[in-house]
Amino acid sequence: MKKTHNKKTSPIKILRSYRNTIADFLSKKQDFISHIPSLSLRYLWRFDKKQWKNFAKLNGYGLVFGLCFSAWLYAFVFIIEGFGGFSEDSSVWANMFFCALLSVFGLISVASYLFCPARIRFYFGFFVGLLLLYWIALSFRYSPFPFLIPFVWLGIGCIIGAIFWALLYFQHIVFRIFSIMILGYIHPFGFDWLVPQSFFAYSFFGVLDWDFLLIVVGVALIAMALFKNDIKGFLYVSTKSKKSFIKLRIGAGFFGVLSLIFAFESVSPANKKPTPFLQNLSNDLNQQITKEQIALVQTHFVQDLKWNKNARDSIKKSTFSAIEQARLEGKKIIILPETILPIVLNSDNPYEVSTLESLKNASNDIAIILGAFSKPNFNSTYVIHKGEVKILNKVILAPFGEKMPLPDFLAKPLLRLFFGIEEGLDSASKPQDFHLFGLIFRNAICYEGTSKELYKD
């Protein structure tokens, strides 16, 4: 008998095998987790080794798709923090490059949703919830129970996972297109912070529903053109005629690209930088103030110190010092952060009364905009100018930190347990505006600046 010898596989053969595997996947459109059997909770609880391996694989695939869906946000943060992108100091060409990059990540996000295998849809949604909405739990850092943060993360992941489980139940591409279009209108507990249209806010594409529909259809058609066989459930075409099948793919690709072109934002990409109202003041022919006359103050108070009553005087002193400094520099408006004064500023307490009076006196030469609480139980913006005070209350409250996103019979006991209070904050019924120097401003505090409700009119 001939002896068999184990020969080491050459690196070239390994690379070829990987190339063939990838080519096989692209050409045959294989479901790459089809070999994983459905999980059985009964055997999972019995610590069946095979079931736990399958569970780990499903989570791994869910994490990969979740990262693809969420990558645009982390790319955006990296561009802003790492390169100062979309700022006044950023060049036009740099902004165009950043727009192109975020456009690509946005398209990848849409593709990951449209073609996510149905079997991992819950795991996909679970990691999307963690990657995009993890910050909801961070308010527990300032409660007596910071160890609850992982449990809140788990709850957030399960809620978004359940939503994705329903929306991605069918793999038919028409159903997927419909489901991603309604995703932004599903608001768990009233919070609208998962809106896929917003993924393209800093891209070459528009953000209206019509633009987003064109983007989604374009991605679906281009994917149909790139894969040899038809996209599952999208269109059945006989492949007997190779020539007609090639024409079909070319046509799908052409209309896919055309759909994306129609979704392009009409504004020049060079203007795709943050353009808040204040940045355009110098272009207003009737303006009475320039952005250089506005002081934006950042503070860095440690949270544990800020909410300590013994620290009120030092915070108050720092606030008035910043106001005086801005006045000496010739500023006409000073804007200080949310709850810079951690007190009910309009209460009848002598300390609050004297503080508000001091702010009125300081507002003769400069308009003061700052955050504090107001009666009966609001997180508010105070606009103080020439002794006049206008109070604008927050509309969209942050979950857990300001409002327990649960029915009252559950929320009240949890507020007592976690934060030692009987009630969460109240919210205003609608967004509010204020006037300064002949201009109209919309009040938005913290995360409500990301809510669609603040921009209705």
Q: Which residues are catalytic?
A: 338, 394, 446
Q: For residue 152, give Cα distances in angstroms to 122, 147, 194.
A: 17, 10, 17
Query: Measured on CA atoms in the order 75, 78, 80, 86, is the torsion positive or negative?
Result: negative
Give the type of residue at 269.
Answer: P
Rounded CA-CA distance 78/113 in Å is: 23
CB neighbour class for 317 (10 Å; exposed up to 12, middle 13-18, buried from 19): exposed
Between helices 173-183 and 149-167, what is the axis angle to 10°? 140
The β-bridge partners of 439 are 436
The β-bridge partners of 369 are 335, 383
Rounded CA-CA distance 252/69 in Å is: 24
Q: Which residues contact 425 (CB under 8 A, 6 or more apart)?
A: 377, 378, 379, 394, 397, 402, 403
Considering only CA atoms, give the Rg of the chain: 28
